[in-house]
């Protein structure tokens, strides 16, 4: 099978043997694979795969099941699925855990389905499970134009919350508002703390979803209302920051965060069940949809990474594996 390997921080087309599923695994003929920031970090040597995971990058796929392990019950050969995987997505065939395979939602293509698992699992787990965002609460999403951001906007709005976002250009702000964001702040031109406090009559927001880290920590705390929750999912501007803990205590804040890739299959399977019950009907109805910025053929994965690193994209970047 054709694959994309990482060699000295470069993405290189290569060939490997097709893997064989066992136990709870299924083998998927990959039609499309999502490109995500952790893939770029892995290529740069900053985010090694967890023990037992494939060294081939790629954390989400969509395609057709062509073989199943001897313990698989609910997924069958011929099923059209999308799946969250710990690696191996940049390939013509990929192993996935059966419990982490979800049917391609009605009306969606494989390219669109490949844009779902990584961002939807991440947003659901962090915004709704960990941060407990409820209807009529307010959410601030940093990086509103990212795959995570476009997903968080739509899910939070569909489930009754108010959503504010930051983005790096007026064009991205306009696109975020068109997706449903109640307000979008260009962080190059405006101080998002001042803007959030003005938008909320100085109250602040209930939840902040942050992938920036660094100096954003103290600023996020200023944006939070009493009993607010900050959930950290990445640290693109640094893992260390100073914080005045009086603000945390006086406003009774919760600071939390998580990574998804290293969690066990049981943890991820619970998220998959929640998504299937709550979010898959929204996708089938068109209430929520994946936002695709660009697609590249598998052998142009390096160009897809260049686009992601440029930060010029809005939504997801997808590798089209089967033409």
> Per-residue pLDDT tens for 161-184?
999 999 999 999 999 999 999 999
How far apart are the C-alpha atoms of 65 and 80, rounded to whole Å? 7
- Coil vs helix vs strand at 245: helix
Q: Do β-strands 254-257 and 224-232 pair in parallel, antiparallel, or remain unpaired?
A: parallel
* pLDDT score for 297: 98
What pTM was computed for the model? Answer: 0.96
pLDDT given for residue 323 in this prediction: 67
HSE (CB half, 13 Å, CA atoms) of 286? 1
Q: What are phi and psi of 128, to 5 degrees?
A: -100, -35
Rg, C-alpha atoms of the chain? 19
Strand partners, 232: 210, 257
Q: What is the pLDDT of residues 66-83, one digit of tens each?
A: 999 999 999 999 999 999
Residue 304 near residue 165, CB atoms below 8 Å: no
pLDDT in tens, 140-152: 999 999 999 999 9
Tokens of 169: 């250009």
Give the pLDDT score at 19. Answer: 97
Give the distance from CA 89 to its chain's centroid.
15
What tokens appear for 323 in the block? 């033409």
pLDDT of residue 211: 96
Q: Calculate helix-pair angle for 170-179, 147-158, nearest 10 degrees.
A: 30
Which letter does DSSP use for residue 128 in this model? I
For the chain, which ranges sit under pLDDT 50? none
Residue 217 to residues 200, 214, 311: CA-CA distances in angstroms?
Answer: 19, 6, 21
Q: Which domains does the chain have, with CATH numbers?
A: 2-118+261-320 (3.90.180.10), 131-257 (3.40.50.720)
Please state, as a whole number, how many other Cβ atoms lie within 10 Å of the Cβ of residue 251.
15
In this structure, how many other beta carbons lie within 10 angstroms of the beta carbon of residue 6? Answer: 18
């Amino acid at each position: 099978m054709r694959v994309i390997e990482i060699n000295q921080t470069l993405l290189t087309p290569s060939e490997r043997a097709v893997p064989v599923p066992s136990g709870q695994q299924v083998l998927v003929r990959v039609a499309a694979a999502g490109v995500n920031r952790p893939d770029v970090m892995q290529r740069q040597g900053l985010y090694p795969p967890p023990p037992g995971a494939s060294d081939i990058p790629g954390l989400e796929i969509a395609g057709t099941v062509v073989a199943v392990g001897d313990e698989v019950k609910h997924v069958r050969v011929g099923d059209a699925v999308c799946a969250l995987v710990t690696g191996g997505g940049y390939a013509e065939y990929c192993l996935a855990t059966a419990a982490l395979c979800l049917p391609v939602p009605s009306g969606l293509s494989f390219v669109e389905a490949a844009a779902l698992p990584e961002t939807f699992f991440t947003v659901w787990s962090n915004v709704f499970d960990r941060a407990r965002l409820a209807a009529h609460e307010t959410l601030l999403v940093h990086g509103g134009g990212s795959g995570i951001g476009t997903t968080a906007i739509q899910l939070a709005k569909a489930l009754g919350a108010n959503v504010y976002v930051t983005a790096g250009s007026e064009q991205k702000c306009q696109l975020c508002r068109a997706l449903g964001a109640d307000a979008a702040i260009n962080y190059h031109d405006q101080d998002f703390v001042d803007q959030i406090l003005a938008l909320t009559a100085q109250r602040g927001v209930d939840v902040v979803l942050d992938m920036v880290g660094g100096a954003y920590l103290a600023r996020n705390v200023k944006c939070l209302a009493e009993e607010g929750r900050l959930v950290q999912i990445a640290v693109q501007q640094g893992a260390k920051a100073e914080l005045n803990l009086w603000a945390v205590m006086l406003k009774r804040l919760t600071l939390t965060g998580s990574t998804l890739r290293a969690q066990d299959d049981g943890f991820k399977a619970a998220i998959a069940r929640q998504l299937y019950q709550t979010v898959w009907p929204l996708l089938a109805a068109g209430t929520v949809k994946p936002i695709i910025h660009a697609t590249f053929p598998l052998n142009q994965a390096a160009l897809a990474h260049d686009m992601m690193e440029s930060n010029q994209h809005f939504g997801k970047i997808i590798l089209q594996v089967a033409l």
